[in-house]
Amino acid sequence: MLGWLAAAAAPLLIHLWNRRRYREMEWAAIEYLLAALRKNARRVQIEQWILLAVRTLVIALVVLALAEPFVERLGLSATGNQRTHKLLVLDASFSMGYKPTDKSRFERAQELAAQIVDEASAGDGFTLVLLANPPRVVVGSPSFEPREFKAEIANQHLLHAGSDLAATLQLVENVLSQTEREHPRLARQEVYFLSDLQRQAWLPAGGAAGQLGQIRQLSKRIADRAALAVIDLGQTDSDNLAVTRFRAAEPLATLDRETTLEAEIHNFGRQPRARQLVELLVGGNRAGETYVDLPAEGSAIVSFPYRFDAGGEHALEILAAGDPLEIDNHRWLALPVKETIRVLCVNGKPAGGSFQQTTDYLTVALAPRSGDAPGGVRPEVITESELAERELAQYDAVFLCNVAQFTGDEARLLEDYLRQGGGLVFFLGDQVQADNYNRQLAGDAGGPRILPARLGERAPQAQYRFDPLEYKHPLVGPFRNQEQAGLLTSLVTDYIRLTPHAGSAQVALAFQNGDPAIVAESLHGGRSLIVATSADTSWTTMPVWPSYVPVVQELLAWCAGARLQERNTLVGQPLAGIATPVGKAAMVRNPRHELLAVEVRDRGALAEWTFAETFTSGVYALEPAGATSPAALYAVNVDTAESDLAPLTAAELRSEVWPGIRFAHQTSWQNLDEHPAAEVTRQNKLHVWLLTAVLGLLFCETFLGWRFGHR
C-alpha cells in the first residue's frame, strides 16, 4: 500500500508533461513579456516549487490516510474502523475500595469499563482480567455480547488482595496471544488498565528490581501486540490509616492468665491524626477501646490486656475506623483459647527418686503454678514405649527427653504430628543414640526429616556457657536485658554437637565455642526444636537456675505457636490443615457467610484439606460436617503493603515502569466522564487528521494558485 507513495511524484510528472504539452502562439508584444519574465523569473520558479510541493504533499497524505493499517503495523500509529479486541484490566486490589465520594474507585472503574464497552464498535470483542494478587482472568475468550460482558463487569467484587502486576501482565499477554490465535478477525488489540496506579504495585520498591524488569519486559511484549491505555483513578491526596499488625503477645492464650493483645495502627497520610479511636471486638462485641495519636506517616501500638472467660475458638477484631478506605481499618485474629495446654513429656530414662527422672525439672518448669490456678499447662509424662499408643494430636507440644532411639513407626507418628501443626522439643542426654536419631529423624535413611539438625559426637566434658547470638531468635528474645535471669551464667558440662540442617533451620542459642545449643525449624506445618544438652541436671546446671522456667516456657510457646500461626493468614493465601475422616466433608463459611467446599488431598496416612478462595478479609470458619465438633476459626487479613495509597505519576509511569512504551494516559476524573476510550480512539483517527490536512492543503493550493496567478 505504501508503494502508492510513489504517486506523490504525479504532480511533478504532470508539471513536466505540461511543459512538453504547451501550445504555440505568435505574439507581437513579446518584448514586454520578455521584460516581465526577466524581472520575475526567480519568483515564478519559487511559486512553482511551492505549488508542486503542496500538490505532492496532498497525494502523499491521501496515500498515508488510505494506508493507515500498514502504518500501524510499522508502529507509527493506530487505526480505527476494524474489529478490535478490547482487553479490560480492572484493578480489584483493595486500594480500589477507597471511597472519597459516594462511589469507590472500584465502582468508578466498573462504570468506566462499561462505558468503554458502550463506545466500542459493533463486532468488537471484550475480555476481562482482574489486577490483584493473585490476578484472575474473568473473561478469557473474547465476548461479542456487550450486554452480557457489562453484566460480568458489574458482578465483580473488590478483592481484598494486593496487586501482583507482573503476574497480571503475564495473564494479559496470554489472553492477547490466545485471541490472536483463535480470533484472527480481531485485527487490532487494545488493553485498558483501569487502576489507581498505586505506587507499591506499579513500581516495586528497592530490592524488587528483578520484578520491575519482569514488568517492563512483559509490558514491552504486550505493547508490541496492542495499544495501551491507562485510565488513572488514583488521587494524590489520599489519606489512609490501617491496622498493620494484630497479635497476641503470648503465643498461647489460656484462661488462667490475661492475654495481651497488641495492634499496630499506621497512618499513611501526610497529616497527623489525633485521638484516633481504636476498638477491640471479641466475638463481634466491643471488649475495649482506646485513643491514640498517630504521627504523619507513622504508627502507634495499642495493647489490650484481656482475660478470656471461656475456652475454645475466638475471633478477635481490631477496628480503627474513620477514613475513606474501609477495608484495612479492620484486622482479625483467630485465637484458640485453651482451658489447659496439654504437653506430653516422654521420659527416656525413668528413675525412682524425686527429681531423678529426666522429666522432673521439666514438668515443674512447664507448670510452675499448676496447683493454684484453673487451666494453665498440664504436662503428662509417659515412657518412650508408650509413645506409639498416644494420639499426639490432642497435645499442644511433645517434649522428648533423653529418648534413646526411635522406630520407623514412631518417626512417622511424629511426622504426622508435625503436619497437624504440632510442636516437638528434643532434649538429649546420655542415652541418645546419635546414629538412630540421624537415621530415623534426620532423613539419613530417606525417611521423613523431623529434626532440625543432625547429631554428631558428644563434646568433651567441660564447662560451657551460652552465647545468646544477640538475642535475635524469638526464643531467646525475652532474655534481652534480663541478665539476672541467669541464662548466660548457666553451665553446661556435656552436650552433643549439632549440625543444623541447611535451609530453614535456625540456631536460636549457641555455646560460646560456637557450637549450636538450640536449633529450631518450622517443618511440615509444625515446629521442631532440639536442645543439645539434657533436660535434667545430668549435663547442665540450667534446670536449677532461674532461667530454666522462662526458657522452657519460651520453648513451649514457640513450638505450640505453629497452630496459632496457621490460623492467621493473608488474603489470597490458602487455608490448610490435616483432615480428619469427619473433616473431609467439612465446609468453609467465608466472611460473606457463603458455605464453600474445601479441597481434600491424600498425603500418606493423612489427608490434607486446603481452601484457596480467601479473597475477602475476615473470619473464615471451618465447619465439620454434621456439626460434630465446633468450627475452627481462621483469620484472613489484608496485606497492608496495599494500604499506602501514594500513586505513581504519569511521568514516573512513562520513565520508570514503561520506558519507551507508547500508551495513552488519562488522569482527570472529570474528563473521564466524557469518553474513557477517547485518547486511544483518537490514536485510531490518524486518517481523519490526514484527510483534514489534505483538505487544508487543497484550500491552500487553490488560494496559492489564485494568488500566484494574479501577480
Positions in the binding site for other proteins (CB under 8 A): 18-19, 21-37, 39-40, 44, 47-48, 708-711
Distance CA 397, CA 395 (A): 5
Q: What count of other Cβ atoms lies within 10 Å of the Cβ of residue 295? A: 12
Shortest distance (Å) from residue 52 CB to other proteins = 12
What single letter denotes the amino acid at residue 64? L
**Among residues 18 and 463, whose Cβ is nearest to other proteins?**
18
Dihedral sign (CA 411, 416, 419, 421) = negative
Shortest distance (Å) from residue 43 CB to other proteins = 8
**Among residues 503 and 709, whose Cβ is nearest to other proteins?**
709
**Which run of H or of E encompasses 700?**
helix 686-709
The answer to whether the CB of 90 falls within 8 A of the CB of 156 is: yes
Shortest distance (Å) from residue 47 CB to other proteins = 6
Can you say how many angstroms the Cα of residue 624 is from the centroid of all Cα atoms in its chain?
30
Shortest distance (Å) from residue 35 CB to other proteins = 5
Distance CA 340, CA 317 (A): 24
Shortest distance (Å) from residue 703 CB to other proteins = 14
Shortest distance (Å) from residue 34 CB to other proteins = 6
Distance CA 428, CA 348 (A): 9
Shortest distance (Å) from residue 36 CB to other proteins = 4
Residue (of 152, 133, 149) closest to 95 by Cα position: 133
Shortest distance (Å) from residue 48 CB to other proteins = 7
**Among residues 600 and 700, whose Cβ is nearest to other proteins?**
700
**Among residues 19 and 275, whose Cβ is nearest to other proteins?**
19
Q: Is 88 exposed, middle or buried (0-12, 13-18, 19+ CB in 10 A)?
A: buried
**Among residues 24 and 372, whose Cβ is nearest to other proteins?**
24
The answer to whether the CB of 647 falls within 8 A of the CB of 328 is: no
Distance CA 664, CA 677 (A): 9
CA dist 169 to 13, 55, 227, 426, Å?
A: 52, 47, 14, 48
Shortest distance (Å) from residue 14 CB to other proteins = 11
The DSSP-derived string for 169-209 is HHHHHHHHHHHHHH-TT--EEEEEEEE--BHHHHS--TTTH
Strand locations in 339-396 (E): 340-347, 376-383
The answer to whether the CB of 495 falls within 8 A of the CB of 533 is: yes
> Residue 457 corresponds to which cell in the numbers above?
559426637
> Residue 118 corresponds to which cell in the numbers above?
458502550
